[in-house]
Structure 1
Amino acid sequence: MNQPLAYIHPQAKIARNVVIEPFSTIHKNVEIDEGTWIGPNVTIFEGARIGKNVKIYPGASISSVPQDLKYAGEDTETFIGDNTVIREYVTISRGTNDKWKTVVGSNCLLMAYVHIAHDCIVGNNCILANAVQMAGHVNVEDYAIIGGSSALHQFVKVGAHVMISGGSLVRKDVPPYTKAAREPLTYCGINSIGLRRRGFSPEKIGEIQEIYRYLFMKGLNNSKALDLIEVELPPSKERDEIINFIRNSDRGVMKGYSY
């Protein structure tokens, strides 16, 4: 849609049925796929690759220069997946020479004032509630839900199907399928409601609960718990995903359950 009150760089690649509202700015080296709506007063900087049917609300800033003193102007990108909703005043920085990109997957909801820093990878079907602040190099896997005003330390990993309480300080990795709350961040059970909504059977949910009993409720250190899980619990996709997540954690995982 040709909007005379918006600035669109002549080298930007915009699909024909994209709607760009007044007073938005689209820089060069930007690609926007069909069906996407760009609200008023949105700024989309170089390197943005925006998918189909995305909705970007007023005041958002997409693919801005990273807030990283090591960034030296290298050509990097920001990818936004199909059907993602980006609400008011969300800010997303493009990558640095670490990953060369920042990624937000498909079918995500980023509520107002979310910040996603350089080199973050956010999976599909994630919800980041209002004012979630994500430092650089954070990895959030599919179907994660992060409560409002939470702050995520750089290089933290959040597993798939996780739910994190609002106002959390996320300094450690959060393993898949869990709920996390309290200060310091602590295991508070598995995300059983979310798993049921996504079609996990009662048997599978019980299996995941048993894995986390070994990890967080038997007084074992992580290495011993993982060894026992491999010996005593049957192999499954979920079991191996949890084991690999914890063994590959660079920052260590959150605290176990305590009264």
Structure 2
Amino acid sequence: MATDIHPTAVVDPSARLGEGVSVGAFTWIGPGVEIGDGTTIGPHCSVHGPTRIGRGNRIVGHAAIGGDPQDKKYRGETVSLEIGDRNLVREFVTFNRGTGDGGGVTRIGSDNWFLAYTHVAHDCVVGNHCVFSNNASLAGHVHVGDHVILSGFAGVHQFCRIGAHAFIGMGAFVNGDVPPFLMVAQDKYARPRGINAEGLKRRGFDPARIAAIRRAYRALYLGDAKLEEARAELAEIAASGSEDVRAMLDFIEHGERPLLR
């Protein structure tokens, strides 16, 4: 299956395009770019290298992929962007490459949706099956787990982590770590508002699993217990056989930012 490059597109000779790649009108593909089989890049896009894009991605148009990190400490060192497979990238999305001081790589997984005007900054790590609604943005060095939903206009502070299956509400400004399974809503700064029960049900979590997660949430957020006391209660729940609560506890114990409470 041959590549399909519009006559007005500019593709650097060093770029490597797989079978069935399509490049739209007035799109620019720079040196050091690798694009996997079956990926479609629409009109008026730019892809800067070093960037590796996997198979079956759909980049709709006017997206800026692999641009220099927006960090004053960046001095032109070689840094990269890695994107997995089957992602949907809508209009005016921006993904930046990493920084030398931050590990050098921005990584985006597979099967994600990035809707219009979303932004993933330098050195971020995004998992799989996530949804970034319009204008959702990550500052640098953010880690996002699998199956996370960021609603429209949500913003995440540098170095924060969003655990798997979390739901971030519209306009929420997240300035601390969000454990797995939580639902967060805006109140000046984002505050926990319960667990993401509906999302967990849709992904096949049975009532017993959800009940254990809910019990852990109550221990963390619905009492006067200090964090160390709440962690002890989570450890008891995890010891009774809940791997989900064990994941929450492990998440809490390995963060650079304060826990969102």
TM-score by length of 2: 0.95
SS at match of 1:107: coil
Give the aligned partner of residue 148 of structure 1.
152
Name which of 178, 184, 190 aligns with 1:185: 190
Shift of 1:232: 5.3
Please, which of 69, 81, 84 is the counterpart of residue 81 of structure 1? 84
Within-5 A mapping of 1:103-252: 103-183=107-187, 184-231=189-236, 234-252=240-258
Tell me if structure 2 keeps the 8 A contact 1:84–1:109: yes
- The gaps in structure 1 that reach 5 residues or longer are none
TM-score normalised by length of structure 1: 0.96
Q: CA deviation at 1:228?
A: 2.3
Aligned equivalent of 1:20, options 8, 20, 23 = 23
Matches of 1:224 and 1:140 in 2, distance apart? 27
Q: Which stretches of structure 1, 4 residues or longer, exceed 3 Å deviation after superposition? A: none
User: Aligned AA for 1:235?
Assistant: G
> Separation in 2 of the partners of 1:153 and 1:29?
30
| Identity of matched residues, % | 37
* Aligned 8 A contact 2:18 2:35 in 1: yes
Say whether the 8 Å CA contact 1:38–1:56 is kept in structure 2: yes
Is residue 62 from structure 1 mapped to residue 65 from structure 2 by the alignment? yes
Q: Which range is displaced more, 75-84 or 224-233? A: 224-233
Gap change, CA 1:23 and 1:232, over 3 Å in 2:
closer
Letter matched to residue 23 of structure 2: I
Deviation at 1:196, TM superposition (A): 0.8
**1:36 aligns with one of 36, 39, 43:** 39
- Aligned-residue CA RMSD (Å): 1.1
Q: Distance in 2 between matches of 1:149 and 1:3?
A: 34
Equivalences, count: 255
Q: Where in structure 2 are there 5+ consecutive unaligned residues?
A: none
Equivalent pair of 2:171/2:186 in contact (CA under 8 Å): no
CA distance in 2: counterparts of 1:58 and 1:181, whole angstroms:
31
CA-CA distance at 1:43 after TM superposition:
0.2
Residues 236 and 19 (structure 1 numbering): CA distance in 2 closer, same or farther, change over 3 Å? same
